[in-house]
């Protein structure tokens, strides 16, 4: 699956009172830091810009994008939501909030956001593609195929296997056993960390879903590096714990149906209560 879109918005050169030059300086500094891949420093710069001019929708948007790049999805969603409250007609905010919700397992909310993005901008092939992917995750294959075809028709490079799968009325080749969430924690310390106790995951796509849903013992995003993509997939993870950087090697079995547990000592996202707003 393609990475979350990285798009930092440019700020207009309008000035509002004596405080604006400071906000302009912090905002531009945030953009420069983000483009250099220094996302944590960019977040601090955008935060200073927001403190000076809290009604600047672009500052909220770009801070959310920087948070996405280091896996702080939940607070990124909060920033996107504030941005939407300030500027509802900016389709890229709806789109990126939708993708972020998808990463934390808020699938209905993600569909709502992508629908909003497409209402604002009909010619938005990226939104068609990821809405198709969400439909595929939910098993709504006819809707998924319509969106995949629409995305391709608008010039998006949809993987050929998706389009071929849609030509088969049985939808062979589309996701049949996707990983949607993690819930139970393994009681065995060796689970997932030994070759003879791999995580049953079913497909390569589910490997990346698992890694995005996984949180460290301290509830933080777990950076990962997929070392190979074989039937027994090997992944290196790094994470902070008690002020130190720790490493683990995880093993995923693609030949077994998807039935994963959370590795011992780790966490996942908290589920939203039923009826929560999108």
Q: pLDDT tens digit string along 135-148?
A: 999 999 999 999 99
DSSP single-letter state for residue 172 = B
| Torsion angle, alpha carbons of 184, 189, 195, 199, to 10 | 0
Q: What is the DSSP string of 92-104?
A: HHHHHHHHHHHHT
pLDDT tens-place string over residues 34-61: 999 999 999 999 999 999 999 999 999 9
pLDDT tens-place string over residues 185-219: 999 999 999 999 999 999 999 999 999 999 999 99
Cα separation, 90 vs 94, in Å, equals 7
CA-wise closest residue to 138 among 88, 177, 91: 177
CA-wise closest residue to 272 among 137, 107, 116: 107
Give the DSSP H or E segment for 267: strand 267-268
CA-wise closest residue to 70 among 100, 45, 110, 27: 100
DSSP single-letter state for residue 1 = -
Give the model's pLDDT for residue 2. 44
State pTM to two decimals.
Answer: 0.86
Cα separation, 227 vs 238, in Å, equals 13
Segment 86-94 shows an average pLDDT of 94
- Asked whether the predicted pLDDT for residue 223 surpasses 90, the reply is yes
pLDDT tens-place string over residues 100-134: 999 999 999 999 999 999 999 999 999 999 999 99
């Amino acid at each position: 699956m393609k990475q979350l879109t990285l798009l930092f918005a440019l700020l207009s050169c309008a000035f509002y009172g004596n405080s604006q030059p400071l906000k302009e300086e912090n905002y531009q500094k945030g953009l420069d830091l983000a483009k250099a891949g220094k996302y944590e420093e960019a977040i601090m710069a955008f935060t200073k810009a927001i403190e000076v001019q809290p009604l600047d929708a672009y500052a909220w948007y770009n801070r959310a994008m920087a948070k996405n790049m280091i896996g702080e999805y939940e607070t990124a969603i909060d920033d996107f939501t504030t941005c939407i409250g300030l500027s509802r007609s900016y389709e890229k905010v709806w789109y990126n909030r939708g993708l972020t919700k998808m990463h934390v397992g808020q699938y209905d909310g993600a569909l709502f956001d992508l629908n909003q993005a497409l209402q604002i901008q009909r010619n938005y092939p990226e939104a068609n593609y990821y809405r198709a992917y969400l439909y595929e995750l939910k098993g709504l294959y006819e809707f998924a195929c319509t969106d995949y075809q629409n995305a391709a028709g608008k010039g998006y490079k949809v993987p050929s296997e998706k389009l071929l799968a849609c030509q088969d009325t049985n939808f062979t080749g589309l996701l049949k056993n996707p990983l949607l969430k993690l819930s139970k924690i393994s009681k065995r310390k060796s689970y997932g960390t030994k070759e003879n106790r791999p995580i049953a995951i079913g497909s390569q796509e589910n490997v990346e879903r698992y890694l995005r849903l996984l949180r460290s013992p301290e509830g933080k995003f777990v950076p990962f590096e997929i070392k190979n993509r074989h039937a027994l997939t090997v992944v290196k993870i790094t994470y902070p714990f008690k002020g130190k950087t720790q490493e683990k090697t995880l093993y995923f079995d693609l030949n077994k149906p998807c039935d994963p547990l959370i590795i011992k000592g780790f966490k996942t996202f908290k589920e939203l209560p039923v009826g929560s707003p999108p």
